[in-house]
Amino acid sequence: MSKTTPPDTASQRAEDQDLGAAGSQLSTAPQEDAPNLPTLGVIGWARWFWRQLTSMRVALLLLLLLSLGAIPGSLIPQSGTDATKVADFQQNHTILGPVYDKLGLFHVYSSVWFSAIYILLFVSLIGCIVPRSWQFVGQLRGRPPGAPRRLTRLPAYTTWRTGAEPEQVREAALTLLKKRRFRAHVAGDAVAAEKGYLREFGNLAFHIALVVMLVAFAWGQLFKSEGNKLIVEGGGFSNVLTQYDDFKSGNLFTQDDLDPFSFNLDKFTGTYETSGPNRGTPRTYQAAVNYSVGAYGKAKKTTIKVNEPLVIGDSKVYLTAHGYAPVITVRDGKGNVVFSDAVPLLPLDSNVTSTGAIKVMDGYRNAKGQKEQLGFQAAFLPTYGGGTSVVSQFPALTNPVLNLEAYHGDLGVDAGIPQSVYQLDKTNLKGFKDSKGQQLRKNLRPGQTMQLPNGAGSVTFEKGIKEWANFQVTRQPGAGWALGGAVTAIFGLAGSLFIQRRRVWVRAAKGDDGVTVVEMAGLGRSESAKVPEELGTLAGILYDQAPGAPDPQDLSEDTPDDTATPDSDAVPAEGAETT
Amino acid sequence: MTLAAATNENLAHLSNTLIYAAMAVYTLAFFAYITEWIFGSRSKIGRTAAALTGDAAGKAQAPAVTVKNAGGTAVMERPKVVVRAAAGARDVPDGPGAHGGDEQGDLYGRIAVSLTVLAFLIELGGVLARALSVQRAPWGNMYEFNITFSTVAVGVYLALLALRKNVRWLGLFLITTVLLDLGIAVTVLYTASDQLVPALHSYWLYIHVSTAILCGAVFYVGAVTTILYLFKDSYENKLANGGTPGTFATSFLERLPSSASLDKFSYRVNAAVFPLWTFTIIAGAIWAGDAWGRYWGWDPKETWAFITWVAYACYLHARATAGWKGRKAAYLALTAFACWLFNYYGVNIFVGGMHSYAGV
Ligand code: HEM
């Protein structure tokens, strides 16, 4: 105890023997044995390797490696989260770029070496849990070990002399300990009791929960799917692959995994801060939808908000973006409507300055009666600031203006090359000219019409401006398991950290003078103030049932005086912390 | 509407005034703690030295709690429990605290604690006024995070004092950093009060961020203790090996609890809050699942929360692994806290990512 250097191992081993089985098996932590190199062949090496891998020291090292390995992924751009940043980085760092690429530093969390660390860690974990669980079951089946020979050596100790008979004392102690939910039994002249198995149970549950979480996460990655769909107010979507604008999925995903449901966007509502330094910052975004599940499901109404996805089966429907979709009507020279639709535009900034294209693919004939296509480059400002301003001043529709540039010719949509719906391919298009011979371009307010020159027709910006919302539909199976694992992990951890596993022994035996001597001692896995406290309480109660007898005057020198002055070397519990 | 806006402006103004007032009172408390330490230096207590350098032949064997049998008399005492340190641990008594047993020092220490309580209440008022002015939880940006964080850290300290834990010696270190924290908050990080963008509207935000702040405050207390443990442990080692530490070190470290007590305290603090930290990360994952459609995406903030978590798990494992207890484990604990700090400041300032709307 008062030693300033740890006792040499030889003497410690002797003491341990003295404590016998009493201090053993107070936990299921693997024994740290010195790495003695195997002399055997392949099997010997394999066994040696396995023991190393499942030792606490290696687990600690792997944990350290895991946290170190996670660092580069947070500092170097990752292709999984931001592919454009990765491209930028590679362009700017011609030397580092390829090196990083080779090392997998642009996708750290799916790289070979990062996977190797956590797979080793989890193999180690499983290799550790299985024997520990068996050991724990064995401990639950067995009985608490009997009292060590000298209870004075234990971290908490007390004694008194009593007039009661030893059997009576043991009986009382057994009842008391059992009432306090110790597992107790009489072994020889002492009662042996143990409590706090939940600590070990919690610890095992925690480590098992880690495995469950990892498996659930991996499962989710393999079977996940994620797609986007832009819907204009009034429009709808049903959950089949062809309806998505874009779609990503895990390696083992199949189409059949998509949950059958459909929904319509009834109305999108956005409100914005109207004053103060954060003027224009969005306050609420919500989409009123009605949806039905399965092929013949009944339609139900609900709202989807930014943090409140619609959950259907394993799928979640998130609101991820919104913008405006002006309603445009295009007429030919004879006044026939050739196009009438809401055209979603792409927002460019936080005030929803938007651009896009209106493409009239067929049905239009020009003034000469020839088939032609029309294209309009659109710029939209929900709040026009007046004058020549080309950016919106506020995200809501306070003063909407639509600027249109008119073209005719061939849109090039049949060329087979995928085309952005927001852009015009002007290679085969000719601009309409205004009276001054300039490109025809006009600012329209809702309800206004722009005439195309020479009887080519007209285009009208209709009054009811619609909004669109983008929905992300994700499906991540195994999330429930991950959550279950996480909750178990927390409770297991709490049990493992806050519950003390401890043993109490009560010895009652006749002393040399025929008076009963009661000795009580407590031992915890880690030293804690609670063990002596609890022992004190127990002793107090037992003392009332077996009250003290006066010390014999003549024997005062003879009585085991180490009751008051314990030995200099206390015996720690196996692996006990010096906390 | 205009009326409500005016109240809010008034409240925001009141909040700022209260925060400045709290800073002033903390400064007074700071000087009181300093005075406590100065008076304490007059004491000539060398308990550690006595325990470690008393005659080598088995002196200083006294157990932490001695039991005197009522030998020979008929009056019986109730049985007393003898407690023994584990083998290999130094049995060194705890220091008396910053005042070093000096009465005047103790008086100033008490004044310092009273001032700390006062400043805490004022600061708490400031945080509440801020919360009321924006009608949401006061952690929408780094300014608010900082003022809430320091309030909670002082709250943890005062709660430990109220639980009669021997932690008054922490006061000086804590208040120094609280002043620094508030100084940074009002100068660099100040953001006028305002509401949240929709992505921050979620009750998971309340849960996730409030537990994150609490964890940070407790981890911080653990880290300060760990640093002091390292100093005290070197000091005890030096004494035990027959060295003579400098007078400043002696005067300073003699007054702290023993290295074993400091070590135990920092372990308890870190272990107690680790499950809560685990919960914080999970709550964050649930929130991310709701807000961004994936519960884990290796965003820098998530990554560093994970790194911090693994680092603390390392620390807890180290204490169960032979050969890693004591100083090595302490270094791990400090590394883990450094990860937490980096996640809090570094990621917002240097890295960015989806969490950076927290308005640096
Ligand atoms: C994913 C990696 C792991 C994490 C995050 C982790 C986390 C933890 C934590 C937080 C504790 C503290 C609970 C306590 O002190 O009672 C703990 C304890 C423990 N861990 Fe792990 N662990 C991991 C892997 C492993 C592995 C691979 C082993 C096997 C060698 C292992 C064996 C143990 C043991 C035996 C304890 C109990 C120590 C004691 O009784 O004081 N752990 N673990």
Cα–Cα distance, A376 to A212 (Å, whole number):
55
Provide the 3-class DSSP secondary structure of residue A82: coil
Cα–Cα distance, A64 to B310 (Å, whole number):
7
Q: Could you identify the atom of ligand 1 that is nearest to the CA of residue A124?
A: 27
Burial per residue of A189-213, b for 16 or more beta-carbon CB atoms within 10 angstroms, e otherwise: bbbbbbbbebbbbbbbbbbbbbebb
Residue-level pLDDT at A334: 87
Residues 185-244 of B with CB under 8 A from A: 192, 194-195, 197-199, 201-202, 204, 236, 240
Token pair in block for residue A193: 């009791």
Tell me the whole-structure pTM to 2 decimals. Answer: 0.80
Does the pLDDT of residue A118 top 70, yes or no?
Answer: yes
Q: State which amino acid sits at residue B27.
A: T
Query: Would you call A307 and B79 a contact, using CB atoms and an 8 Å cutoff?
Result: no
| Chain A residues lying within 8 Å of B359, measured CB to CB | none
- Show the beta-strand stretches assigned E in A422-500: 429-431, 441-444, 449-452, 457-461, 466-475
Query: Would you call B81 and A536 a contact, using CB atoms and an 8 Å cutoff?
Result: yes
Higher pLDDT, A10 or B266: B266
Provide the percentage of residues in chain A whose pLDDT is more than 90.
28
Does the pLDDT of residue A119 top 60, yes or no?
Answer: yes
Cα–Cα distance, B293 to A262 (Å, whole number):
19
* pLDDT tens digits, one per residue of A449-480: 999 988 889 999 999 899 999 998 988 888 88
Residue-level pLDDT at A526: 66
Query: Would you call A579 and B71 a contact, using CB atoms and an 8 Å cutoff?
Result: no
Provide the 3-class DSSP secondary structure of residue A276: coil
Q: What is the average per-residue pLDDT within A500-505?
A: 90
Q: Is B86 on the interface with A (CB under 8 A)?
A: yes
Distances A190 to A157, A520, A541, B174, B207 between C-alpha atoms, Å: 14, 9, 17, 50, 50
* pLDDT tens digits, one per residue of A534-545: 888 898 889 888
Report the chain A residue with the minimal C-alpha distance to residue B196: A283
A147-195+502-570: what fold? Answer: TATA-Binding Protein (3.30.310)
**Which residue's alpha carbon is nearest to atom 28 within ligand 1?**
A125
Does the pLDDT of residue A245 top 90, yes or no?
Answer: no
* pLDDT tens digits, one per residue of B56-102: 333 333 333 333 333 333 334 567 777 766 544 566 777 777 776 67
Residue-level pLDDT at A209: 95
Residue-level pLDDT at B286: 86
The full DSSP string for A493-519 is HHHHHHPPPEEEEEEEEE-TTS-EEEE
- Is residue A429 within 8 Å of residue A352, measured between CB atoms? no
Cα–Cα distance, B284 to A489 (Å, whole number):
15
Residue-level pLDDT at B198: 54
* pLDDT tens digits, one per residue of B127-175: 998 888 877 777 777 888 889 999 999 999 999 999 988 888 889 999 9
Q: Is A535 on the interface with B (CB under 8 A)?
A: yes
- Of A496, A501, A577, A579, best ligand 1 pocket probe by most atoms within 8 Å of the beta carbon: A496
Q: What is the average per-residue pLDDT within A201-225?
A: 90
Cα–Cα distance, A103 to A280 (Å, whole number):
44
* pLDDT tens digits, one per residue of B208-237: 888 999 999 999 999 999 999 999 999 888
Higher pLDDT, B322 or A252: A252
Residue-level pLDDT at B122: 94
DSSP structural state of residue A437: S
pLDDT band at residue B190, thresholds of 50, 70 and 90?
Answer: confident
pLDDT band at residue A183, thresholds of 50, 70 and 90?
Answer: very high
* pLDDT tens digits, one per residue of A289-337: 999 988 777 888 999 987 788 988 888 898 888 899 999 999 988 889 9
Cα–Cα distance, A216 to A554 (Å, whole number):
72
Cα–Cα distance, B148 to A370 (Å, whole number):
72
| Chain A residues lying within 8 Å of B321, measured CB to CB | 32, 56-57, 60
Instruction: Report how far ligand 1's centroid is from the alpha carbon of B337 (Å).
Output: 19
Does the pLDDT of residue B311 top 90, yes or no?
Answer: yes
| Chain A residues lying within 8 Å of B267, measured CB to CB | 577, 579
Q: Within 10 A of A134 (CB to CB), how many other CB atoms are there?
A: 11
The answer for residues whose C-beta is within 8 angstroms of residue A200's C-beta and 6 or more apart is A27, A28, A136, A139, A496, A501
Residue-level pLDDT at B194: 60
Q: Could you identify the atom of ligand 1 that is nearest to the CA of residue A55?
A: 30
Between B72, B295, B320, which is nearest A556 by CB?
A: B72
Token pair in block for residue A123: 């193999």
Cα–Cα distance, A370 to B184 (Å, whole number):
72
Residue-level pLDDT at B71: 38
Instruction: Report how far ligand 1's centroid is from the alpha carbon of A207 (Å).
Output: 7
Q: Is A492 in the pocket of ligand 1 (CB under 6 A)?
A: no
Residues 257-286 of B with CB under 8 A from A: 260, 263-264, 267-268, 271-272, 274-275, 278-279, 282, 285-286
Query: Would you call B201 and A307 a contact, using CB atoms and an 8 Å cutoff?
Result: yes
Q: Is A59 in the pocket of ligand 1 (CB under 6 A)?
A: yes
Q: Is A532 on the interface with B (CB under 8 A)?
A: yes
Q: Is B318 on the interface with A (CB under 8 A)?
A: yes
ipTM above 0.95, yes or no: no
Query: Would you call B320 and A309 a contact, using CB atoms and an 8 Å cutoff?
Result: no
The full DSSP string for A20-65 is GGGGTTSS-PPP----PPP-S-HHHHHHHHHHHHTSHHHHHHHHHH
DSSP structural state of residue A468: E
Cα–Cα distance, B168 to B161 (Å, whole number):
7
Phi-psi region of A264 (alpha: psi -120 to 50; beta: other; left: phi over 0): beta
Cα–Cα distance, A239 to A471 (Å, whole number):
12
Q: Is A16 on the interface with B (CB under 8 A)?
A: no
What are the sequence ranges of the domains in chain A?
A: 42-136, 147-195+502-570, 221-322+472-487, 324-466
Nearest to B151 by CA among B179, B181, B120, B189: B120
Cα–Cα distance, B15 to B12 (Å, whole number):
5
**Which residue's alpha carbon is nearest to atom 7 within ligand 1?**
B313
Q: Is B69 on the interface with A (CB under 8 A)?
A: yes
- Is residue A465 within 8 Å of residue A228, measured between CB atoms? no
Q: What is the average per-residue pLDDT within A191-219?
A: 92
Mutation for B interface: A307, A500, A544, A559, most B CBs within 10 A: A307
- Is residue A76 within 8 Å of residue A105, measured between CB atoms? yes
Phi-psi region of A318 (alpha: psi -120 to 50; beta: other; left: phi over 0): beta
* CA A82 centroid distance within chain: 20
* Residue B107, min C-alpha distance to chain A (Å): 30
Q: What's the N-to-C CA distance of chain B in angstroms? A: 29
Q: What is the average per-residue pLDDT within A97-113?
A: 84
Cα–Cα distance, A122 to A63 (Å, whole number):
10
* pLDDT tens digits, one per residue of A23-44: 666 777 776 655 566 566 788 7
